[in-house]
Structure 1
Amino acid sequence: MATIADLDGLTDLVERPPAGGELFLRWSQGPAVDLAENPGGSSRDTLTGIALPGLSANPLTVERWWGARSRRLWAARRLYDYRHLHKPGVRPWVLLGEACGRGPDNEPLVRCRRPLAWVSDTALAQAQTLVEEQPAAAWGPLDRAGSRPPRGAA
């Protein structure tokens, strides 16, 4: 599978997606693992262990409400918000697919039609730099574990 070398490469893909589905970003060990048991892919809810009917992924398609804002910033934000998933053996990759449901965190569950490309560490670093240069101090990863109240708290 090809690798998207930098944030500009991801932006180009977002601006000119291939036909045949929508673009999604998935963080995992990759399509060889994700598609091994099921041709369209399936995920597992880590809290309950329940098998989900598609891959947990995030859309790369620019939402209408984003308007004429920077597509590069859109792509950067998609990488930045889930960078906490970057662990040994886990990398972001782009796939062409279709939504088939919602996961336990309300994320799209996706049937993979075609894996497209890995996303490089250079693109991740560029995304982080671009997002952190923005004036809004409230942007950050979706760190649910850090914001969870202690057990027994009301």
Structure 2
Amino acid sequence: MSAPDDLPVTSTLAELAALVERHRGLYVRWSKGPGPDLGETTSTDDLTGVPLPGLSANPLDVEEWWRGRSVELWVARRLYDHSHLPHDKGPGVRPWALRGREAGRGPDNEPLVADVEPMCWIAGPMIEEARPEVERQERRWGTPRRSGR
């Protein structure tokens, strides 16, 4: 599948939450975009170099245990949890939403997605919108990237 040249841009948490409410099977991927990704439609394990059977991505579907809480907070957390990736993976890496079929699990237990349909870019300022949503919570949580390892 070839990526569209001009994916729509989702600019607010409310827009992304509405997309999540309308569609099941959505994921967020942090990369240079569908163009480069869909040529390969596979990720590689960074540690071993082993090719994986799909693109590594993080699910956006709201879990049942969330029980009616804010979908905007849900997507804020999903973005916040991986907001370190542009720094770690280098220039040009940014989030985009996709639909697809889970083809397996990666070495960090992340879904590996095949039959990818790009949905939209997730605007960079949305990450900054997510941060205060997360920080307003009574309990604090950090991103999966932990210091001191």
TM (normalized to structure 1)? 0.87
For 2:122, the equivalent position in structure 1 comes to: 119
Listed as ranges, the gaps of 5+ residues in structure 1 are 149-154
Q: Say which of 82, 95, 99 aligns to 1:92.
A: 95
Listed as ranges, the gaps of 5+ residues in structure 2 are 1-6
For 1:12, the equivalent position in structure 2 comes to: 18
Percentage of matched positions with identical amino acids: 52
For 2:105, the equivalent position in structure 1 comes to: 102
Aligned CA RMSD, in angstroms, stands at 1.2
TM-superposed CA distance for 1:49, in Å, is 0.9
Q: Are 1:95 and 1:112, in contact at CA under 8 Å, matched by a contact in 2?
A: no
Q: Are 1:30 and 1:90, in contact at CA under 8 Å, matched by a contact in 2?
A: yes
Which runs of structure 1 show a deviation greater than 3 angstroms over 4 or more consecutive aligned residues?
none
For 2:143, the equivalent position in structure 1 comes to: 141
- SS of residue in 2 equivalent to 1:36: helix
TM-superposed CA distance for 1:147, in Å, is 4.1
Q: Are 1:3 and 1:118, in contact at CA under 8 Å, matched by a contact in 2?
A: yes
For 2:74, the equivalent position in structure 1 comes to: 74
For 1:65, the equivalent position in structure 2 comes to: 65
Tell me the distance in 1 between the aligned counterparts of 2:115 and 2:86: 21
TM-superposed CA distance for 1:36, in Å, is 1.0
For 2:3, the equivalent position in structure 1 comes to: none
**Structure whose alpha-carbon radius of gyration is higher:** 1
Tell me the distance in 1 between the aligned counterparts of 2:143 and 2:36: 25
Amino acid at match of 2:68: A
Amino acid at match of 1:5: S
- Structure 1 position 3 matched with structure 2 position 5: no
For 1:151, the equivalent position in structure 2 comes to: none
TM (normalized to structure 2)? 0.89
